[in-house]
């Protein structure tokens, strides 16, 4: 059976529902396919979405009541030597209700996003995988599902994330190279809300050390050990790139070793945290965080005849912080706008869709964040082994220095100017969002989900 749509969106993670909703709001007949039974189920368990995603991303999120776990108001950087914390940097902290980001579990957040898309008229098919693309005369004309259905459309938006090869099948992109990919191990611990409040407050916490300490990957070859804090749980997480100093180590084994070392040596864990937590789950995932730093990856297209690629599938994760939700949202909005224009013009050619590429490049954040070398450059500290240089770079990365003009300050100013030009009323809406999100968190009251 052949079914015809204007737009097929593949993937109901963070980016897909935003693109699908905007297409449907513009009057396009839109379907969204999701391989898992419930949106968000196949995305990483939980994360912290930086605030710039909310401020400059889709209006319906900013003005809605999505299920957040904890407003994150500060970053606590701890420096560890010989198993002891010898210095801390808490320079990045904001007064309530302002935040640097919001922690959330992916499942409820993606359900909330998909619910908004369905409210706008999107047909959502879960437990349905797009296994191939339909190509005719060099144009993507739809997808084939795992059930053998043939779904046809004028445009396919690939929002299928990292572990999805539709754009490869369409001949538009190639596989991510191993140097770009970080393997993550994440521990999900229950912790009573009062304990999270007293031990961490509204902070997320990072533990930085030189490689000899073996509580994390060599500098620049992974993420430092981080603790994301939720309402009544915490996630320590560790990551390392599949290729480290030109070699392919057994990363899965190393990550376990680093965490074992941390939990046996560091007093902050043994005395403040361990007595109050209970392990619930251990999860693994991969992220192509350095895709924007590797020229052959960065140069790969994210559009072709009849197809637009957004979010992780296009390699839009930030190289310095590993966050990808803001760029998934920004690229989703750009893609939906271009899909509408191309369908109206009756031209879905690569030449027409080039405007998607141009707008992605003109976005204040996407290119800036995927080419940020701060994390990669940490490897230089390895050579000098200088503690002072290490601390200085951490302050510029995870501390107050993150707001310097050449880092996030410049893009934020540019995006602020652009947003005010488009809608001067946004100046009042931003503080209102901070207040409402904070109140929602304090009262633990969010929009009901379709799965409740
Ligand atoms: C360990 C880890 C930690 C992270 N931490 C953060 C963080 O703190 N902050 C942050 O902003 N970002 C973080 N990220 C990145 C973030 O998860 C992604 O950037 C974001 O989810 C990208 O959104 P997306 O819509 O492109 O893809 P996804 O959210 O991955 O969604 C893709 C969806 O497509 C579905 N799908 C895939 N293939 C098909 C198919 N063929 N047919 C149908 N459905 C399909 C999947 O099931 C999934 O639901 C983290 C990622 C990892 C792995």
For every residue of 145-183, DSSP letters joined together read ETT--EEEEEEEEE---SS--HHHHTTS--PPPGGG-EE
- Torsions phi, psi for 320 (to 5 deg): -85, -40
Report yes or no on 439 lying in a domain: yes
**Angle subtended at Cα 436 by Cα 16 and Cα 441, rounded to the nearest 5 degrees:** 85
Distance, in Å, from the CA atom of 423 to the CA atom of 50, rounded to the nearest integer, reads 22
Q: How many angstroms is it from 322 CA to the middle of ligand 1? A: 12
183 lines ligand 1 (CB under 6 A): no
317 lines ligand 1 (CB under 6 A): yes
35 lines ligand 1 (CB under 6 A): yes
Q: Which atom of ligand 1 is nearest to the CA of 311?
A: 26
Whether 164 and 306 map to the same domain: the answer is: yes
Whether 62 and 133 map to the same domain: the answer is: yes
Confidence (pLDDT) at 42? 78
311 lines ligand 1 (CB under 6 A): yes
Q: How many angstroms is it from 312 CA to the middle of ligand 1? A: 6
Whether 411 and 336 map to the same domain: the answer is: yes
Confidence (pLDDT) at 12? 97
Report yes or no on 380 lying in a domain: no
Task: Give nearest CA residue, ligand 1 atom 29.
Answer: 13
Task: Give nearest CA residue, ligand 1 atom 39.
Answer: 160
Report yes or no on 431 lying in a domain: yes
Report yes or no on 48 lying in a domain: yes
Report yes or no on 171 lying in a domain: yes
Confidence (pLDDT) at 3? 84
Whether 66 and 77 map to the same domain: the answer is: no
Distant-in-sequence, close-in-space partners of 52: CB < 8 Å, separation ≥ 6: 326, 365, 408, 411, 412, 415
Whether 61 and 82 map to the same domain: the answer is: no
Task: Give nearest CA residue, ligand 1 atom 47.
Answer: 42
> pTM for the full model?
0.98
Counting ligand 1 atoms within 8 A of each CB, the residue from 322, 335, 369, 372 with the most, and so the one to mutate, is 322
| Cα dihedral 17, 18, 23, 27 sign | positive
Whether 166 and 196 map to the same domain: the answer is: no
Task: Pick the closest to residue 286 from 262, 247, 322 (CA basis).
Answer: 322
Report yes or no on 385 lying in a domain: no
Whether 341 and 416 map to the same domain: the answer is: yes
Q: How many angstroms is it from 389 CA to the middle of ligand 1? A: 34
Whether 136 and 234 map to the same domain: the answer is: no
SS3 278: strand
Identify the burial level of 367 via C-beta atoms within 10 angstroms of its C-beta, where 0-12 means exposed, 13-18 middle and 19 or more buried: middle
57: CATH: 3.50.50.60
Residue 314 is classified by DSSP as G
- Please report, to the nearest 10 degrees, the dihedral formed by the alpha carbons of residues 122, 22, 53, 437 taken in order: -70
Confidence (pLDDT) at 384? 86
Task: Give nearest CA residue, ligand 1 atom 16.
Answer: 324
287 lines ligand 1 (CB under 6 A): yes
Q: How many angstroms is it from 343 CA to the middle of ligand 1? A: 27
Report yes or no on 386 lying in a domain: no
Confidence (pLDDT) at 43? 74
Which tokens is 384 given?
Answer: 């000098």
Counting ligand 1 atoms within 8 A of each CB, the residue from 161, 173, 225 with the most, and so the one to mutate, is 161
Report yes or no on 256 lying in a domain: yes
Whether 216 and 251 map to the same domain: the answer is: yes
- pLDDT tens over the chain, length 452 residues: 678 999 999 999 999 999 999 999 999 999 999 999 999 987 778 999 999 999 999 999 999 999 999 999 999 999 999 999 999 999 999 999 999 999 999 999 999 999 999 999 999 999 999 999 999 999 999 999 999 999 999 999 999 999 899 999 999 999 999 999 999 999 999 999 999 999 999 999 999 999 999 999 999 999 999 999 999 999 999 999 999 999 999 999 999 999 999 999 999 999 999 999 999 999 999 999 999 999 999 999 999 999 999 999 999 999 999 999 999 999 999 999 999 999 999 999 999 999 999 999 999 999 999 999 999 999 999 888 899 999 999 999 999 999 999 999 999 999 999 999 999 999 999 999 999 999 999 999 999 999 98
Q: Which atom of ligand 1 is nearest to the CA of 14?
A: 25
Distance, in Å, from the CA atom of 279 to the CA atom of 130, rounded to the nearest integer, reads 35
Q: How many angstroms is it from 129 CA to the middle of ligand 1? A: 15
| Cis peptide leading into residue 97 (ω within 30°) | yes
Q: Which atom of ligand 1 is nearest to the CA of 326?
A: 11
Confidence (pLDDT) at 1? 63
Q: How far is CA 352 from CA 20, 163, 169, in A?
A: 20, 28, 21
Q: How many angstroms is it from 332 CA to the middle of ligand 1? A: 13
Instruction: Work out how many domains the chain is built from and give that number.
Output: 2
Confidence (pLDDT) at 44? 76
On whether the CB atoms of residues 40 and 111 are closer than 8 A, the answer is yes
Q: How many angstroms is it from 43 CA to the middle of ligand 1? A: 5
Domain boundaries, position 127: 2-70+102-175+291-373+407-443
Q: Which atom of ligand 1 is nearest to the CA of 128?
A: 43
Whether 204 and 311 map to the same domain: the answer is: no
Whether 418 and 278 map to the same domain: the answer is: no
Identify the burial level of 357 via C-beta atoms within 10 angstroms of its C-beta, where 0-12 means exposed, 13-18 middle and 19 or more buried: middle
93: CATH: 3.30.9
Whether 151 and 204 map to the same domain: the answer is: no
Confidence (pLDDT) at 72? 98
- Torsions phi, psi for 199 (to 5 deg): -85, -40
Q: How many angstroms is it from 54 CA to the middle of ligand 1? A: 17
328 lines ligand 1 (CB under 6 A): yes
Distance, in Å, from the CA atom of 58 to the CA atom of 358, rounded to the nearest integer, reads 20
Residue 436 is classified by DSSP as H
The order of strands in the sheet holding 233-241 is 84-93, 74-81, 203-208, 222-229, 233-241, 182-191, 277-287
């Amino acid at each position: 059976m052949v079914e015809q749509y204007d737009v097929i969106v593949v993937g109901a993670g963070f980016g897909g529902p935003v693109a699908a909703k905007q297409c449907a709001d513009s009057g396009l007949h839109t379907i969204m396919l999701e391989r898992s039974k419930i949106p968000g189920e196949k995305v990483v368990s939980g994360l912290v979405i930086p605030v710039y995603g909310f401020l400059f991303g889709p209006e319906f999120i900013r003005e809605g009541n999505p299920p957040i776990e904890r407003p994150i108001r500060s970053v606590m950087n701890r420096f560890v030597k010989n198993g002891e914390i010898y210095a801390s940097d808490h320079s990045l902290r904001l007064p309530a209700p302002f935040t640097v980001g919001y922690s959330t579990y992916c499942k409820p957040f993606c359900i909330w996003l998909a619910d908004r898309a369905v409210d706008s008229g999107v047909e959502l098919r879960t437990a349905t995988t797009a296994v191939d693309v339909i190509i005719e005369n060099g144009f993507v004309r739809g997808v084939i599902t795992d059930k053998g259905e043939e779904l046809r459309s004028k445009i396919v938006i690939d929002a299928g994330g990292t572990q999805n090869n539709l754009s490869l099948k369409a001949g538009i992109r190639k596989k991510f190279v191993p140097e770009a990919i970080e393997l993550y191990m994440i521990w999900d611990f229950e912790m009573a809300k009062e304990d999270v409040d007293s031990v961490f407050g509204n902070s997320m916490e990072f533990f930085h050390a030189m490689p000899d300490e073996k509580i994390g990957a060599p500098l620049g070859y992974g993420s430092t050990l981080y603790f994301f804090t939720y309402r009544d749980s915490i996630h320590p997480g560790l990551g390392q790139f599949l290729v480290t100093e030109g070699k392919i180590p057994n990363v899965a084994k190393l990550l376990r070793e680093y965490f074992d070392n941390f939990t046996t040596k560091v007093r902050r864990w043994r005395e403040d945290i361990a007595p109050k937590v209970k392990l619930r789950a251990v999860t693994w995932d991969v992220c192509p965080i350095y895709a924007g730093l590797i020229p052959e990856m960065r140069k790969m297209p994210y559009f072709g005849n009849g197809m637009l690629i957004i979010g992780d599938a296009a390699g839009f994760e930030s190289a310095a912080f590993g966050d990808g939700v803001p760029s998934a949202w920004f690229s989703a909005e750009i893609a939906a706008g271009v899909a509408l224009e191309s369908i109206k013009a009756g031209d879905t050619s690569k030449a027409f869709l080039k405007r998607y590429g141009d707008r992605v490049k003109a976005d204040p954040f996407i290119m800036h964040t995927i080419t940020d070398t701060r994390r990669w450059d940490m490897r230089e500290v390895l050579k000098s082994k200088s503690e002072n240089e290490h601390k200085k770079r951490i302050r510029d990365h995870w501390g107050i220095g993150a707001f310097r003009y050449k880092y996030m300050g410049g893009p934020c100013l540019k995006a602020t100017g652009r947003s005010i030009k488009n809608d001067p009323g946004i100046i009042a809406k931003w503080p209102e969002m901070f207040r409402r999100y904070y109140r929602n968190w304090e009262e633990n009251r969010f929009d009901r989900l379709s799965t409740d």
